[in-house]
Amino acid sequence: MKTTTTQSEPHMTPAGTAEPDAALAFWRERAGDAVHACLGSSMTWSRACAPKPVPDDAAKLVLRCPLGRPHAVLVGSASAAPEMAARHAERSQAAADALPDELAAVVLKPITQGEVDGRSYVVWPYRSPGGEGRLAQWRWRRRWSAPVSNWLFEVNQATCTPIAPDLMRERVVAPLEALGAIEGVSGRVCQSADQAAEAFTAGGVPAVHVLMHNDLWTGNVLCPEKASAGGRYPFTIIDWAGAEVSGYPAYDLARWAQSARLKASGYGAELVRHSGVLGCDPGAMRAHLAVGLGFLAMNLEGFSPQRFVRLADECLEGMENALAAAGVRITP
């Protein structure tokens, strides 16, 4: 798990007065003994990152050994979403189980987990973020953009399975209808949803499932620790709470290309490569993106509709530009 800050002091209210960190105090007091017993020593606790202004935001707390080195991260569910941390662990395991060992190695295994007052928590091994600042992020992207893209390609290759005809309505048409029904979605996105529905139901584009992370951006890809830096893919991917074993191709690639700032030509080459695995023309990747966005539209949870509308348009525009850069004609 990652950390972006190491503050243990009280956070500040808008008025500037110090206020105790209630989430940090809750987990340290209620789960501290069990966590320390599992880790084998007493730890100091601090916030991994500032809390988000959403009711289901889970607390992320860094546990440091007596020498001050970060050792683990506790993810504790908010009272508004008491099963969130447990879902992280459950879906991480499901993702690992769906992958060959070499690809599954990027998925962290929890150290321990439990429940306090009906709220679940999970303790994960600590992993380092890519660094802060433009230069550090540039270096991080330069090092890991290609390996993560290759990992994602191999995931689609390993997990691609056809969607049964009797599930087309539930698994393809319904998500595309949900995408078009989101308030404020652009005409271009609506058109892509309509064209995709027609192409999938007519059989022009094969409908498939793949393992889908559903939030594959640079902040969820962490650097390896020295002790675990072996293998072809030594990085770690976290935050699998929204993952689906029977998910959809193209959205993870679109989100990754956007976050890692892949050049249009490089992204276009990835689209061509992925289309070969999915058994479709490269231009039909837009249809796969539409159904992936539709699935997200049906499962927004704490994701605001306004933010989703922007994301959908950006993903579609980025893909169209990449296909154009690769000399590919867009097909429905």
What is the spatial distance between Cα 194 and Cα 290, in angstroms, rounded to a whole number?
9
> What's phi and psi for 114, nearest 5 deg?
-170, -165
Q: What is the pTM of this model?
A: 0.89
What is the reported pLDDT for 227? 47
pLDDT at 12: 33
Q: Is the sign of the CA dihedral 171, 177, 180, 182 positive or negative?
A: negative
Q: Which helix (H) or strand (E) holds 144?
A: helix 134-159
Integer Cα distance of 251 and 248 in angstroms: 7
Which pLDDT score, from 0 to 100, does residue 19 have?
43
Q: Report DSSP state, residue 113.
A: E
- What is the per-residue DSSP string for 169-187? IIIIIHHHHHHHHSTT--H
All residue ranges of the chain with pLDDT < 50 are 2-19, 227
pLDDT of residue 232: 84
Phi, psi of 303, rounded to the nearest 5 degrees: -80, 120
DSSP code, position 230: -
pLDDT in tens, 229-249: 557 898 999 999 999 999 999
User: By three-state DSSP, how is residue 76 classified?
Assistant: strand
Q: Are 275 and 154 in contact (CB under 8 A)?
A: no
Q: What is the pLDDT of residue 16?
A: 36
Tokens (6 digits) for 133: 């600042």
Q: How many CB atoms lie within 10 A of CB 160?
A: 17
CA torsion 186-275-216-157 (nearest 10°) is 150
For the stretch 205-225, what's the b/e string if a residue is b when 16 or more beta carbons lie within 10 angstroms of its beta carbon? bebbbbbbbbbbebebbbbbe
CA angle, corner 39, sides to 34 and 126, nearest 5? 115
Please state, in angstroms and rounded to a whole number, the distance separating the CA atoms of residues 302 and 305. 9
Per-residue tokens: 283: 């231009």
Q: Which amino acid appears at position 38 of this protein?
A: C
pLDDT value, residue 134: 84
Given the DSSP bridges, would you call strands 70-76 and 119-125 parallel, antiparallel or unpaired? antiparallel
**pLDDT value at position 11?**
35
Q: Which residues, including other chains, have CB under 8 Å from residue 4's CB and lie 6 or more apart?
A: 48, 49, 129, 132
Q: How far apart are CA 32 and CA 81, in angstroms?
A: 21
